[in-house]
Structure 1
């Protein structure tokens, strides 16, 4: 068991809210370290205690449950993989967050969640007298530039008053803070973003494999795409040399930050959103079929760009090499 005493001599900033973070993975762990570097007192909890060890060495205070973290924190973030994980941590699990929340605290969910789950939890928070925002986070992948080195944008939604109360904290988390409106709007915006991103990756893979199959060398088709109007606008193409051409997607030891199963979850949520509003989304529907096939092939834990291998199979070519940027 990890000790609850911090191993660091980091001094907390006076008159600043104490922060709690549930979920110390790629996003939650990075943000915990970020807050510690800014001098905030940070409490952490994760079901995998090993994931808290490094944060403890940076000065984080380890807790043994979501409820304990809630009793010690003024602003609490959840950064968890799925909607079910959030429900367990916040409402239904043993020693869940709602059992320890203190009057005046603010709860912010930065998970890529479902709108329905966000609204359910918001209703529960209202009954407890707790303010809440959903604020999904657009992390910063290779191929894009983050001014602060943390991420490109955070998408908070909820009451304007609650947003303004925690806005200084949110500004530390990303280059841009985009207030999206009423509760769950930020989550819907993130799902739309991820759907567009996934569809674009598959569109790029079609273009590149078509070029290779028709005898165009990789560097030429790459330059055509990246230097034309498409490459100067949709940013996803710029990460492909690192994520796809390098074949990192074939190697689980590379520890992908964003996996096939997580993006598949986001795409299903986006498709449900489209169905709810009776919007036809044929490109999204086709892209989801590729993610379903990837899951059937047991690629769930691979990088999301592993799905592009399906298009390579269809075209009978493999895109690999080091095209010059």
Structure 2
């Protein structure tokens, strides 16, 4: 993480307490808007879903009617949208798009997991407007992984280092780690590589678990073997398995998934295109892309990304299903004390103190009685 450059940040008075704008108030954008509001920043928002904006308005956010209107109010603007096409629509192509309201000297940051080509196109379009741009895709906190100090795990930023240092205090509110990845587009490439590696690891875990089940090994034993070994110390998805997969939450569309099959398929396709352009062989990624393509062909596009595991289950003829929490009996943690148990413990402690006081008083009374009796005789 780079140090904050105070001289750079204070060189523009508007950036001492910048007004922030967020286009896209979904899973990531909405939580970051609330996060910025909680830290005292003025935040303007725009989303095609007015209910999402209403929720944030109740926290103090300012609603706008278009991307262009939002840009007229803000020093730093974020886009947090599902796909590259959504970003192009919001920033360049749509009616009342962002470029129609951007002010010279403002900064635009795309935290979407985008494509490198789209990032370069955006950069080329807004630079002549006197606006700086960073691509800074965001690593969220899935079930099983927790942020220590921020709202997420990591921000992977790239673009002008001077611009990065200007907005670093804002980025540091968003995640535990803020990484500067280099020239514009490098942050996006790093995020795509991260997601590709993670997706391949997910498939490997699926193969191992289904193989263990086929060998009649209990599910909790297989899971313990993976999570307590060296792999489990830095997993791609292992600690979230009971929540998303074993519980079969991935089968239920009534619980909106944070990350869908079609979105991860998009990331994997872009990563594979990168490898193809560089003439690099990536057989595991290629096979994983095929799995996600098959999942979409089967109508699973809007399910949680982990739903793709069902293809491996079908091949193996087993189902990974268990009631949460899935913890083997030999490794169950000591339960946290409940309010009732704490109350009982406090009552017991008070009872002991009272008994000690009573016994002490009786002892003193007895000594006085013996002393008086001895004195009389």
TM range (shorter): over 0.9
1:293 offset after TM fit, Å?
1.0
Bigger proportion of residues as helix: 2
1:48 offset after TM fit, Å?
1.7
Q: TM-score, normalised by structure 2?
A: 0.81
SS of corresponding position for 1:183: coil
| Corresponding residue of 1:137 | 138
Does the 8 Å contact 2:150/2:172 carry over to 1? no
| Corresponding residue of 1:118 | 119
| Corresponding residue of 2:262 | 261
1:14 offset after TM fit, Å?
10
| Corresponding residue of 1:292 | 293
1:235 offset after TM fit, Å?
4.2
Q: TM-score, normalised by structure 1?
A: 0.94
| Corresponding residue of 1:16 | 17
Alignment CA distance shift 1:195-1:115 (3 Å): same
| Corresponding residue of 2:198 | 197
| Corresponding residue of 2:88 | 87
| Corresponding residue of 1:242 | 243
Q: Does 2:153 correspond to 1:156?
A: no
| Corresponding residue of 1:233 | 234
| Corresponding residue of 1:10 | none
Does the 8 Å contact 2:201/2:236 carry over to 1? no
1:149 offset after TM fit, Å?
5.1
SS of corresponding position for 1:125: helix
| Corresponding residue of 2:73 | 72
Alignment CA distance shift 1:90-1:262 (3 Å): same
| Corresponding residue of 1:310 | 311
SS of corresponding position for 1:155: strand
1:162 offset after TM fit, Å?
0.5
1:234 offset after TM fit, Å?
2.1
| Corresponding residue of 2:59 | 58
> 1: CA distance between counterparts of 2:296 and 2:16?
48
Unmatched runs of 5 consecutive residues or more in structure 2:
1-13, 332-377
Residues 88-125 of structure 1 show CA distances to partners (whole Å, capped at 9, x for unaligned) of 11111111100100111000000000000000110111
SS of corresponding position for 2:233: coil
Q: When the two structures are aligned, how many residues end up with a matched partner? A: 313
1:15 offset after TM fit, Å?
4.7
> 1: CA distance between counterparts of 2:15 and 2:169?
15
Does the 8 Å contact 1:144/1:235 carry over to 2? no
Runs (4 or more) in structure 1 with deviation over 3 Å come to: none
| Corresponding residue of 1:275 | 276
Residues 235-260 of structure 1 show CA distances to partners (whole Å, capped at 9, x for unaligned) of 42111011100100000111110111
CA RMSD in angstroms comes to 1.3
Does the 8 Å contact 2:150/2:174 carry over to 1? no
1:220 offset after TM fit, Å?
1.4
| Greater Rg by CA | 2
| Corresponding residue of 2:100 | 99
> 1: CA distance between counterparts of 2:214 and 2:150?
38
